[in-house]
């Protein structure tokens, strides 16, 4: 079933889709009056709907009852903070974090990040669009939030932080005390000694996965999947 975003969805009402979604329905998918679709609000709710009218400048849909989204939300309320990478590698991380059920994503600038704060800020809207499109495609009714660019110390001040490092860490714990977790991934050059010290001083758990050396994007995707398996709903 084709899915469309709207912030106006209320059961048993007729609503007008936003311009972008209307164009997609009318001009790209070429749907017709009477076609069945679903609408979601980006906050976790999804509803049945039917195309009610298609005009040159508007599309209206009749909203029905609530339905269960194709992709359920994990009980693990996971925030992923990842050092910004150059090129399109970071786009892939954003997309896969949506698919893996993260609820919030924080782009990080660290000591060894190869992208400047200004350059990273210029890509924020691109990442937000990727997160939105990924939510539509993977069946989530919740759109992962993309936070403003942050420095590492800001994230380390959050509760229940788990920082992944290629060195000086311990094993992944068997259990966690909270279903709210922030995980932190570094740049391809790894963490600076002062960053690791700051993490310890602020009480973050530093975790190292054996002797494997992973690319930054591989680590973010692979380890998030492991966390959802161990503490979330990917069983």
In tens, the pLDDT along 160-177 reads 999 999 888 889 888 888
Q: What is the pTM of this model?
A: 0.91
pLDDT of 95 > 90? The answer is: yes
Question: Start-end ranges of CATH 2.40.240.20 in the chain?
Answer: 2-67
The CATH code that applies to domain 2-67 is: 2.40.240.20
Q: To 5 degrees, how large is the angle CA 126–CA 20–CA 4?
A: 95
How far from the centroid of its chain's Cα atoms is residue 115's Cα?
A: 20
The CATH code that applies to domain 77-231 is: 3.40.1280.10
Q: With CA atoms as reference, report the closest residue to 160 among 184, 192, 187, 196.
A: 184
Question: Start-end ranges of CATH 3.40.1280.10 in the chain?
Answer: 77-231
Give the pair of three-digit tokens for residue 140.
């989530």
Q: Cα–Cα distance between 45 and 171 in angstroms, integer?
A: 37
């Amino acid at each position: 079933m084709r899915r469309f975003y709207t912030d106006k969805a209320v059961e048993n009402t007729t609503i007008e889709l936003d311009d972008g979604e209307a164009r997609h329905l009318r001009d790209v998918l070429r749907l017709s009056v009477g076609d069945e679709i679903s609408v979601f609000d980006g906050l976790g709710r999804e509803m049945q709907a039917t195309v009610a009218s298609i005009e040159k400048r508007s599309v209206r849909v009749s909203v029905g009852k609530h339905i269960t989204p194709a992709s359920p939300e994990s009980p693990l309320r996971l925030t992923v903070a990842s050092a910004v990478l150059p090129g399109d590698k970071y786009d892939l991380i954003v997309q896969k974090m949506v698919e893996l059920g993260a609820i919030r994503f924080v782009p990080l600038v660290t000591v060894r990040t190869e992208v400047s704060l200004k350059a990273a800020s210029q890509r924020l809207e691109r990442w937000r669009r990727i997160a939105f499109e990924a939510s539509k495609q993977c069946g989530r009714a919740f759109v992962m939030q993309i936070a403003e660019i942050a420095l590492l110390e800001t994230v380390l001040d959050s509760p229940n932080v788990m920082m992944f490092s290629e060195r000086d860490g311990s094993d992944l714990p068997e259990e966690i005390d909270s279903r709210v977790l922030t995980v932190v991934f570094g740049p391809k050059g790894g963490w600076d000694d002062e960053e690791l010290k700051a993490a310890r001083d602020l009480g973050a758990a530093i975790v190292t996965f054996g002797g494997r050396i992973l690319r930054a994007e591989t680590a973010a995707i692979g380890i998030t999947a492991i966390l959802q398996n161990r503490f979330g709903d990917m069983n």
